[in-house]
Structures are given as C-alpha cells and as structure tokens.
C-alpha cells in the first residue's frame, strides 16, 4: 500500500500548540530549489511541516543536535541555520561565509563547524546560539590565498577533521581542551581531495582524491603515522570519463569488513577490505556512482548515479558483489537514506518532484510524497551517529 501525501504549505500559525511526539522517526528533506526543508514522519509516512527561508540550498546538508529536535542546515551560500523540526521554525540563522559546502557537530553537541569555500577555512559556532567561537583559515604557504575545505566530519574526542582541496592536506582541529583548538596538519595526502568519510566508530578518516586515482587514509588512533595511500592508481592509467557530478563519501560506505566507494570518472564501485585496506573487488555499475550507501544490516549497498544515468538505483550484494536488484524511481534520484533499523529506504527524485519510500527487502514502494526538487534526506537518528 502506498501512502500518497498532499503537498504541504509553510506553517504560518505560530500560536497553535505543537503536538507532543518523539523525534527518532523523523527525517528532514532538502527542497533545493525553494530554500525549504520538509520534515518527514517515517512512521506515518507523511510530511509534518516545512520550514522556509533557508537561502540557497542547491547544495546543502544537515546535522542534528544531540536532542534530535534541533538541526543545523548548511547552505551553499554560507547560510548556517538552526531549525526546530518539531515546531517547524527557524531558531537562529547566520550567513557565515560566501560559499560553503557542509558541516559537522562535535561529539558533545556543543560546537557546530562549517566547511567553507570562500573564504577558505572552517568556522566553528556555539550550537546553542550560533555565536562564532573559532575561525580556522586554511591559508596557503602563509600567503593571502586560502584553500577550499571539503570532507569535514566530527571525530571522537571532540575533534573535527577536514581536507583542503587546493593544497592536498588533512587537518585535525582538536577542541577537547576548550574553544581554542589545537590544529595538526598532514600534508601531501594527494591531489585535490574532494570529499571524505569517517568510519562509524570514528577511527579512520578516508579522503577521496579527484586530481589522481586513489584515496588517503588517516588512522585517527595513530595519526602520527601520517596519511596512507589506498586504492592507488585504481584507474589503471585509463582515461577518466568526464565527471559531471562529484561522488559523495559517507560513513554508510562501510558494510561489515568492507568499504564500498564510488570510483571517480568510471562506471565502478570499488570494494576495500577494511583490515588490509586493499582493493578486493570492483563492481561494474550502471553509470558514474554518486552515493554508495550500505543498508544498516550490511547485506546490500545501494548506489545512485550522476546525470544522465540518474533514473536508476542499483542494489549490490555485499558478499557476492553481484547486482541483486534495480529500481527506476523516476528522473533525478539525488539521494537515498535508510531508516535506522533498515525497515525503510527513502529516495529523493528531484525532477519528478517527489520523495519515495520503499521496503528495502521487497522493493515495493510504501509512500510517494510530493515535494518540489527534493535532494538530501537526513534521519534524525544521525543525532547519535559519529561522523554524521
């Protein structure tokens, strides 16, 4: 049975009491063309409300406060907005930079960090008030230029880890002693890191490289050992296809003892053994992969693709590495997100202006909800997940 939801309007009624409810089954969905974030009730399979006025969300992401009620929206235009997913309101908003790409929340929930392109660097804010508490410019050789920052994640011990696109570095900013971080720089990690993930336990930080074929691995338990190159030359000297959409790396790449990551400019998913960090397989797929996400039970990974192949999602068996299933949800499948125990998966289908829920075991649709230009979907369960 599919629940068809009606489109919902901005909640303008400030005086109605908001119904008491839990937050664990809620998710947020970016409506990228209209600067809005919709709140999805995954138990009732309906939107509960929508929050507008969030600026340029053409590339945006969300992290959650430790209570699961408040969330932080990182907008492309440098907007940083704290929202309340229960009352569907903006709590605090700041335009903290000219152009930014993502963010993270600290382990203790007190600090929110933003990865900025312009000016290059990381800015860190008090999670309660969004007051600036630290500014980490990613200067290049002590000169006036600053590197774009990508791949910003939180790590255990109240640290933030991020990479520098222009200079090929990984930095760790340690806030465990207070609001003035101690910063450690790791240089020569590779050419043009474009995104990064941290393993679910927060031990390994893995940056994907765009300027060459390979990834950089940093063991945060032994960072003094420095970055290690993995999957080196995975392109085998072959010419890369034009890349229209950068792949994305998330902690959900890990399934059991393996990591599944998108190859850049190739129609392949690469499989890494997380004990040896060696490549143990590669899977030919439908197009250039954008997101490769493991189901919480680790048995399958789901893959979506860049234009022009973004009408398709493939489902790979993590043991056999075979493609077990395929979905054609519509045009512009931008993101996928599993419910925390894996009973549902939600897909945003941008060009069809809808969000579709599926039973990931039977592949039957369970809901289809209209939303203009949906993109990222974020379960509030991420409030309790290192690196997300």
> Which one of residues 5, 35, 49, 68 is an interface residue with a second copy (CB under 8 A)?
68
Q: Between vectors from CA 214 to CA 210 and to CA 216, what angle results, nearest 5°? A: 95
Residue closer to a second copy, measured from CB, 52 or 296: 296
Q: Using an 8 Å Cβ cutoff, are 383 and 64 in contact?
A: yes
Residue by residue, DSSP assigns 198-249 as E-TTS-EEEEEESSSS-EEEEETTSGGG--EEESTTTTTTPPPPP-SS----
- By CB under 8 A, is residue 64 in contact with a second copy? yes
Residue closer to a second copy, measured from CB, 88 or 354: 88
> Which one of residues 4, 7, 43, 233 is an interface residue with a second copy (CB under 8 A)?
43
- By CB under 8 A, is residue 60 in contact with a second copy? no
> Which one of residues 276, 343, 351, 364 is an interface residue with a second copy (CB under 8 A)?
343
Taking the complex as a whole, how short is the minimal distance between the CB of residue 317 and a second copy, in angstroms? 10
- Measuring CA to CA, which residue among 201, 151, 161 is closest to residue 183? 161
Strands (E), 32-109: 36-41, 46-51, 61-64, 70-74, 79-84, 89-95, 99-105
Residue closer to a second copy, measured from CB, 31 or 104: 104
> Which one of residues 67, 118, 131, 135 is an interface residue with a second copy (CB under 8 A)?
67
Per-residue string for binding with a second copy, 271-310, x by CB under 8 A? ----x--------------------xxxx-----------
Cβ-Cβ contacts under 8 Å for 38 (sequence gap 6 or more): 8, 28, 29, 31, 47, 49, 50, 51, 355, 371, 374
Residue closer to a second copy, measured from CB, 89 or 286: 89
State the Cα–Cα distance between residues 327 and 336, nearest whole angstrom: 12
Give per-residue burial for 178-213: e unless 16+ CB within 10 Å, then b: eeebeeeebeebbebbbbbbbbbebbbbbbbbbeeb
- By CB under 8 A, is residue 24 in contact with a second copy? yes
Going from the C-alpha of 339 to that of each of 30, 357, 382, the distances in angstroms are 17, 10, 10
Q: Which residues in 153-212 contact a second copy (CB under 8 A)? A: 154, 156-158, 176, 201-203
Question: Looking at residue 287, what DSSP letter applies?
Answer: S
- By CB under 8 A, is residue 87 in contact with a second copy? yes
Taking the complex as a whole, how short is the minimal distance between the CB of residue 91 and a second copy, in angstroms? 13
> Which one of residues 342, 365, 370, 372 is an interface residue with a second copy (CB under 8 A)?
342
User: For 137, how many CA atoms within 13 A lie in the half-sphere containing its CB?
Assistant: 10
Taking the complex as a whole, how short is the minimal distance between the CB of residue 176 and a second copy, in angstroms? 7
Taking the complex as a whole, how short is the minimal distance between the CB of residue 388 and a second copy, in angstroms? 10
Select the span of 131-139, 264-272, 277-285, 336-344 touching a second copy (CB under 8 A): 336-344
Question: Which parts of this chain interact with a second copy (CB under 8 A)?
Answer: 17-18, 20-25, 42-43, 64-70, 86-87, 107-109, 154, 156-158, 176, 201-203, 221, 255-257, 275, 296-299, 319, 339-343, 361, 379-381, 383-386
């Amino acid at each position: 049975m599919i629940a068809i939801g009606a489109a919902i309007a901005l909640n303008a009624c400030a005086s109605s009491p908001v119904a008491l409810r839990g937050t664990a089954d809620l998710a947020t969905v970016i409506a990228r063309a209209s600067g809005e974030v919709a709140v999805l009730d995954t138990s009732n399979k309906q939107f509960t409300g929508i929050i507008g006025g969030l600026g340029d969300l053409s590339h945006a992401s969300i992290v959650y406060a430790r209570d699961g009620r408040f969330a932080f929206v990182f907008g492309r235009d440098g907007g940083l907005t704290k929202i309340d997913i229960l009352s569907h309101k903006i709590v605090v908003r700041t335009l903290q930079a000219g152009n930014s790409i993502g963010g993270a929340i600290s382990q203790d929930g007190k600090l929110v960090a933003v990865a900025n392109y312009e000016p290059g660097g990381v800015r860190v804010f008090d999670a309660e008030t969004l007051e600036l508490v630290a500014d980490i410019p990613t200067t290049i050789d002590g000169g006036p230029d600053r590197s774009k920052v990508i791949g910003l994640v939180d790590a255990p011990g109240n640290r933030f880890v991020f990479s520098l696109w222009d200079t090929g570095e990984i930095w760790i900013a340690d806030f465990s002693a207070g609001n003035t971080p101690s910063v450690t720089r790791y240089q020569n990690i590779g050419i043009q890191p474009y995104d990064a993930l941290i393993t679910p336990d927060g031990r390994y930080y893995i940056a994907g490289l765009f300027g060459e074929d390979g990834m950089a691995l940093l063991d945060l338990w032994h960072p003094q050992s420095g970055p290690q190159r993995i999957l080196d030359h995975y392109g085998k000297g072959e010419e890369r296809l034009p890349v229209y959409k950068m792949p994305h790396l998330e902690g959900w790449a890990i399934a059991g003892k393996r990591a599944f990551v998108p190859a850049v400019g190739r129609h392949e998913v690469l499989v890494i053994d997380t004990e040896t960090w060696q490549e143990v397989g590669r899977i030919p797929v439908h197009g250039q992969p954008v997101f490769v996400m493991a189901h919480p039970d680790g048995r399958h990974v789901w893959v979506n693709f860049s234009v022009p192949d973004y009408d398709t999602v493939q489902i790979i068996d993590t043991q056999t590495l075979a493609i077990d299933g395929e979905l054609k949800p519509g045009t512009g499948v931008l993101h996928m997100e599993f419910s925390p125990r894996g009973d549902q998966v939600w897909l945003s289908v941008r060009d069809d202006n809808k969000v579709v829920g599926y039973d990931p075991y039977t592949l039957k649709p369970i809901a289809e909800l209209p939303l203009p230009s949906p993109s990222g979907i974020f379960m509030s369960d991420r409030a309790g997940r290192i690196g997300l």
